[in-house]
Amino acid sequence: MFCGKILPPVVHPTKCCINHTQQNFIQPHIFPSHTTNVNHQVIGHKNYYPHTESFVNEVTNVNLGPAVGPPPVGPGVGGCGPGYPGAMPYGFPR
C-alpha cells in the first residue's frame, strides 16, 4: 500500500446531462367525404321507316273505230292473230 500524504481533491466542473422523456398523443383529424353513385339509364330511340313496293300491270283496250276497206280474212280475226300473214300487231293499219 502507498504510504504518503493525501492531497486535497480536485473538483472538476459538473457535467450536465439531460434526460428527455416523451409521451406520444394521437390527435384525430376527421375529413368526412360522401360518394353518390348515380345509375344513368339511356334510352336510344332508333327510327325505322319500312317501305314496301308493288308493281301494277295495266292493260288498256283501245277501240280504233271502224276500219277503212274490206275486213281481214283468216284465222287472225281483225288482223291481230299470228296466223294472218303480214298482220300488224294490235290491229294498227299499215
Q: What are 68-79's pLDDT values in tens digits?
A: 777 777 665 554
Determine contact, residues 66/78, Cβ cutoff 8 Å.
no
Q: Please name the residue that has the C-alpha cell 327510327.
A: 47
Among 64, 61, 91, 63, which Cα is nearest to 76's?
A: 91
Among 36, 90, 84, which Cα is nearest to 63's?
A: 90
Which grid coordinates belong to 42?
339511356
Q: Please, which pLDDT band fits residue 38 given cuts at 50, 70 and 90?
A: very high
More confident residue, 92 or 22: 22
**Given this model, what pLDDT does residue 34 score?**
96
Look up the pTM and report it: 0.28
